[in-house]
Amino acid sequence: MVTRKKVAVIGGGVSGLAAAKAFKERGHDVHAFERTHDIGGVWEPSRSYPGVQTQSPKDLYRYTDLAMPADYPEWPKGPQVHAYLRSYADRHGLNEIFSLDTAVRSMTRRPDGAPGWTLELEGPDSARTEDFDFVAVCTGQFSDKNIISHPGQEEFEAGGGTVTHSSEYTDPEMIRGKRVVVLGGSKSATDIAVNASQNGAKSVTLVYRENVWRVPYFIGGINFKRLLYMRAQESQFNGWGRGPLARALAAATKPLVWANFRGLETLLKLQLGLKKWDMVPDNPIEKDVSCSLPIVTPGLFEAFNAGTVVPIRGTIERYEEGQVILSTGDRLEADVVVLAVGWKLGVPYLDPAYREKLIEPDGQYRVYRLSVNPDLPDMGFVGFNSSFCSVLSAEMIANWLVRYADGQLARQPSRAEMEADIEANLAWRRGERPAAQVYGGLCSAPFHFRHLDELLADIGATKRKRANPLAEQFSYPDAAAYGSFLASAPQYRAG
Ligand SMILES: Cc1cc2nc3c(=O)[nH]c(=O)nc-3n(C[C@H](O)[C@H](O)[C@H](O)COP(=O)(O)OP(=O)(O)OC[C@H]3O[C@@H](n4cnc5c(N)ncnc54)[C@H](O)[C@@H]3O)c2cc1C
């Protein structure tokens, strides 16, 4: 059996829970740290805005061994997801290994030169350092707010205006009777704009920079999971590592692929009325699909039509007292400005010398299988891979990572193999698929199946697909089935 390691898990969201379970199950001595007062990450209620719900349908947003409750809606609300994550932690005895209100302030190599890392931990009452043999980094992509400001903000605030980050919009009371400007075009921006318009804001303006493709929960009346989440759809995108045969096949089927995506675009344009709102994106949809593809907030286009949310394409140029001045020249009377401008991706606590090895100057991450870097021994990421089925992919990566850490992958990569794969993947992101560069390149969408296939193959799972090849091509990933695929992996080797 492998040596028992002392393992640190940083972060108590979806990914931290998956990592804690995977390492605990293999008999390691796991210590998990969450800087807030509760587990749940982005789903912890005090961190999410009112009305938040998943983008993924519930049977795609789940761990392999625990379905979401049958009485949950197809797209569960934030508190429901939080309750689900709590039940997962209870089920697997994870609460005992989590230290809450405990932040990791720094992560450096051990002073004694031994493998592993020293973490500087700040708890509710004291700070301390502790050594670990392995660290699973599960701090996600939504932990450090992207704070931006524009000239005149102080004057605006001195005059009674409020400027706030989207994550601080947790109570509609703050916008009741107010004139609200939301900056941003992502899902959080549109969610907040619609929520404010339905909760007593005097007016809501959505200021966004770029037109992007958005997918509604139902496309032409069909749940989007039945149209978009399938191998048959995924294989039409230009994935990594295509050899001459795959390229020849892509060339031969190009007209069909073209027609498929133009058909989808036409449906979206008609259903959402994109032309009427001058919201047709410039890029073809197949070029844009990545983890940043937003789901249409229910009620968004209805709010445009009713005039309760007014969209303006542009950005904020500056503030004056009581006003927001846009790049379009528009002057908006405003009381509250919500900056839905996202998050800073990073590992701020990691020793800068190692951060340099991990992150390229253009922000791209050097990671093998979206998890490990050969220059950063004894650590791996779980859940930095943003996708449309993040819970399943976090669990799969966690299972891959524990085997990697224990030297028990069926295909344990050498340093040279990892380096070559990282370089090839970077070249693909930069040259062939720029959309894959979002989130530092840590996005597996739209290649969910491909990514999971690679992990399962590395693990040595004998079962990787459904028995029925047609169902396999045209069905969304079945989380429970992935549990049985994992179970088909070989036992640990003696050693
Ligand atoms: C509003 C919203 C809706 C979403 N909907 C979907 C969806 O439908 N489908 C989907 O697949 N994905 C969705 N996502 C993406 C979502 O981020 C992932 O699904 C998943 O919840 C990420 O979990 P995580 O554990 O990786 O990160 P997080 O949930 O961000 O958890 C990271 C945790 O690490 C903690 N932490 C950070 N730094 C430190 C530190 N230094 N020390 C200790 N603890 C630290 C944080 O407090 C946090 O609790 C959504 C995201 C948002 C914001």
Ligand 1 atom with the shortest distance to the CA of 348:
41
Cα separation, 119 vs 378, whole angstroms? 13
Mutate to test the pocket of ligand 1, among 33, 75, 142, 396 (most ligand atoms within 8 A of CB): 142
The pLDDT of residue 122 is above 90: yes
Least confident of 47-56, 222-231, 257-266, 345-354: 47-56
Nearest CA to ligand 1 atom 25: 13
6-144+344-487 and 146-343 share one fold? yes
Nearest CA to ligand 1 atom 52: 42
- Domain 6-144+344-487: give its CATH code: 3.50.50.60
Note the pLDDT of residue 305: 97
Mean pLDDT on 246-262: 93
DSSP character for 203? E
How far is the centre of ligand 1, averaged over its atoms, from the C-alpha of 384 (Å)? 9
Ligand 1 atom with the shortest distance to the CA of 15:
25
Note the pLDDT of residue 5: 97
Instruction: Identify the three-state secondary structure at position 303.
Output: helix
Cα separation, 137 vs 461, whole angstroms? 25
Q: Find out whether 358 and 375 touch, Cβ atoms under 8 Å.
A: yes
**300: closest CA among 192, 202, 218?**
192
| pTM for the predicted model, two decimal places | 0.95
Residue 132: CB atoms within 10 Å = 23
CATH class of 146-343: alpha beta
Burial class (CB in 10 A: 0-12, 13-18, 19+), 86: middle
Ligand 1 atom with the shortest distance to the CA of 387:
11
Q: How confident is the model at residue 463 (pLDDT cuts 50, 70, 90)?
A: confident
Q: Find out whether 4 and 28 touch, Cβ atoms under 8 Å.
A: yes
Cα separation, 23 vs 132, whole angstroms? 13
Note the pLDDT of residue 352: 96
Which of residues 1 and 93 earns the better pLDDT score? 93
Task: List, as one string, the DSSP characters of 307-338.
Answer: TSSEEEES-EEEEETTEEEETTS-EEE-SEEE
Mutate to test the pocket of ligand 1, among 9, 143, 291, 396 (most ligand atoms within 8 A of CB): 143
Residue 458: CB atoms within 10 Å = 19
Structure tokens at 264: 């989808």
Task: List, as one string, the DSSP characters of 195-235.
Answer: HHHHTT-SEEEEEES-----B-SEETTEEGGGTTSSHHHHT
Q: Find out whether 115 and 5 touch, Cβ atoms under 8 Å.
A: no
Cα separation, 145 vs 168, whole angstroms? 10
Mutate to test the pocket of ligand 1, among 42, 225, 291, 397 (most ligand atoms within 8 A of CB): 42
Return the sign of the alpha-carbon dihedral for residues 146, 206, 50, 20.
Answer: negative
Nearest CA to ligand 1 atom 37: 139
**Domain spans of the chain?**
6-144+344-487, 146-343
Least confident of 57-66, 296-305, 351-360, 438-447: 438-447
Nearest CA to ligand 1 atom 41: 104
Structure tokens at 344: 């800073």
Residue 296 half-sphere exposure toward CB, CA atoms < 13 A = 24
Q: How confident is the model at residue 422 (pLDDT cuts 50, 70, 90)?
A: very high
Note the pLDDT of residue 32: 98
The pLDDT of residue 1 is above 70: no
Mean pLDDT on 200-221: 96
Q: Find out whether 102 and 34 touch, Cβ atoms under 8 Å.
A: yes
Cα separation, 68 vs 61, whole angstroms? 8
How far is the centre of ligand 1, averaged over its atoms, from the C-alpha of 387 (Å)? 12
Mutate to test the pocket of ligand 1, among 43, 106, 139 (most ligand atoms within 8 A of CB): 139
Residues with Cβ within 6 A of ligand 1? 10-16, 33-36, 41-42, 48, 52, 54-56, 61, 103-104, 138-140, 142-143, 188, 349, 383, 386-390
How far is the centre of ligand 1, averaged over its atoms, from the C-alpha of 42 (Å)? 4
Note the pLDDT of residue 24: 98
Structure tokens at 250: 């892509």
Structure tokens at 156: 């605006």
Ligand 1 atom with the shortest distance to the CA of 349:
41
How far is the centre of ligand 1, averaged over its atoms, from the C-alpha of 386 (Å)? 9
Percent of the chain at pLDDT > 90 equals 89
Q: Find out whether 201 and 180 touch, Cβ atoms under 8 Å.
A: yes
pLDDT in tens, 11-70: 999 999 999 999 999 999 999 999 999 999 999 988 888 889 999 999 999 999 999 999
How far is the centre of ligand 1, averaged over its atoms, from the C-alpha of 167 (Å)? 12
Note the pLDDT of residue 488: 94
Cα separation, 411 vs 345, whole angstroms? 30
pLDDT in tens, 272-323: 999 999 999 999 999 988 888 899 999 999 999 999 999 999 999 999 999 9
Note the pLDDT of residue 386: 76
Ligand 1 atom with the shortest distance to the CA of 16:
25
Determine the longest span between alpha carbons in the chain, in angstroms: 71
Beta strands in 50-145 (DSSP E): 98-99, 103-109, 117-122, 127-132, 134-137
Cα distances (angstroms) measured from residue 249 to each of 257, 261, 287, 432: 11, 17, 18, 17
The pLDDT of residue 2 is above 90: no
Task: List, as one string, the DSSP characters of 375-417.
Answer: TSTTEEESS-SB-SSHHHHHHHHHHHHHHHHTT--TTPPPHHH
Q: How far is CA 361 from the centre of its chain?
A: 22
Note the pLDDT of residue 494: 80
- Mean pLDDT estimate for the chain: 95
Which value, in Å, is the radius of gyration of the alpha carbons in the chain?
23
Mean pLDDT on 3-18: 97
**475: closest CA among 465, 483, 484, 485?**
465
How far is the centre of ligand 1, averaged over its atoms, from the C-alpha of 344 (Å)? 13
Note the pLDDT of residue 495: 61
How far is the centre of ligand 1, averaged over its atoms, from the C-alpha of 141 (Å)? 6
